[in-house]
Amino acid sequence: MLSMKKINQVAMAVFVTAVLSGLSTNVISAASSPHPFKGKHLEYYAQLDVRLPGISTAFIPPINTTVSANFGAGTLFALNITEEVAPSSKLLGSVRGYTVETSYLGFPDSWLLEVAFVEYNDGKYNGTLQLQGLAQQSLTELAITGGSGSFRGAKGYLVVTLVVDSLPTRTFRHNLTFL
């Protein structure tokens, strides 16, 4: 039969091994996780070039254009985001998502349900943001409903402003406020 001393030694060895393996896991995961974003504001620019394959208006056709303008029409989009207004400025990531027309009136009174996913990496902060809300011609304000990486659990809102409207390019400023 094993002595009590031997059992205690084995138990202590197992305990120390478990503690050390737990510590090493924490050190490794802490070193590999991105720097958390602690600020209240973030700004970047979404670049739309209608000549490039970053937008698809054939995602969902309108329900009945004779009665309800483009109600129900869906558009997919994938746009680059940059640090400055110029499309050639530092690339920070992308914003991808879709819109669905929710107004019966059509342009210029369009109301779009927008759901978007932002991938962001400026070298210091690296993560994703989830956005949703009502996009309008006059004001687009979307809710920040979550995030990952540097933006884990993010909440707040985003205001979109059209800053360049010179087809074939359009540039939108995304001004994010975190709560």
Q: Is it the case that residue 134 has pLDDT exceeding 70? A: yes
70 in helix, strand or coil? coil
Q: Is it the case that residue 23 has pLDDT exceeding 50? A: no
pLDDT at position 11: 43
Taking the C-alpha atoms of residue 169 and residue 159, their distance in angstroms, rounded to an integer, is 20
Q: HSE on the CB side for 103, CA within 13 Å?
A: 14
Q: Per-residue pLDDT averaged across 128-137, rounded?
A: 94
Q: Per-residue pLDDT averaged across 164-178, rounded?
A: 95
pTM, full prediction:
0.77
Beta strands 74-82 and 41-49: pairing type? antiparallel
Q: Per-residue pLDDT averaged across 30-40, rounded?
A: 83
75 in helix, strand or coil? strand
Q: Per-residue pLDDT averaged across 106-126, rounded?
A: 90
Q: Please report, for residues 85, 114, 134, the alpha-carbon distance to residue 89 in angstroms, rounded to integers and kept in the order given.
A: 7, 26, 28
pLDDT at position 173: 98
Q: What single-letter DSSP state applies at residue 39? A: -
Taking the C-alpha atoms of residue 17 and residue 38, their distance in angstroms, rounded to an integer, is 35
20 in helix, strand or coil? helix
pLDDT at position 39: 96
